[in-house]
Amino acid sequence: MRPGRWIRAPARAEHLRSVSSFHYVEAGSETQDQDVSRDESGVCPHFHAAIELIGKRWTGAILSSLTDGPLRFGELARAIPGLSDRLLSQRLRELEREGLVERTVEPGTPVKVTYALTAKGAGLRPAIRELQTWASHWHKTG
């Protein structure tokens, strides 16, 4: 068989609720055991899930604000004008559940709560910086 021919099979990404997925393996090649996960449209379900998560309204702004270091809730709220406290709290909980942000509580009066990127979240820094560069260039040439 010629290279580039792909065989469609059910994927192993059942944990992704919104993506019906299949994985494709190259037929007749030595890499047949290495699969590339794709949904019906050819999009990797892991990529799709990541974009769905970080593409939610305000999530990118929160992650971008945290790239320079930990911030307290009020500092985050001030850094992102227009974001309500309720929605900021909701997005932070989502990002915590996904392992991108960690919440640290320091006892005292008042209690000090800071939010910071985890190692997993910090892995997004290069992508966020590239997106910021692209957005700045795109806005100027718009």
- The pTM for the full model equals 0.68
pLDDT of residue 36: 52
Residue 5: pLDDT over 50: no
Separation CA 6–CA 66 (nearest Å)? 41
Lowest mean pLDDT among 51-55, 62-66, 74-78: 51-55
pLDDT of residue 22: 43
Q: What structural domains does the chain harbor? A: 6-45 (no CATH), 55-141 (1.10.10.10)
pLDDT of residue 39: 56
pLDDT, mean over the chain: 80
The residue-averaged pLDDT of 47-51 equals: 88
Residue 2: pLDDT over 50: no
pLDDT of residue 98: 95
CB < 8 Å & 24+ apart, contacts of 15-21: 16/45, 16/46, 16/48, 16/49, 18/48, 18/49, 18/52, 19/45, 19/48, 19/49, 21/45
The residue-averaged pLDDT of 19-29 equals: 45
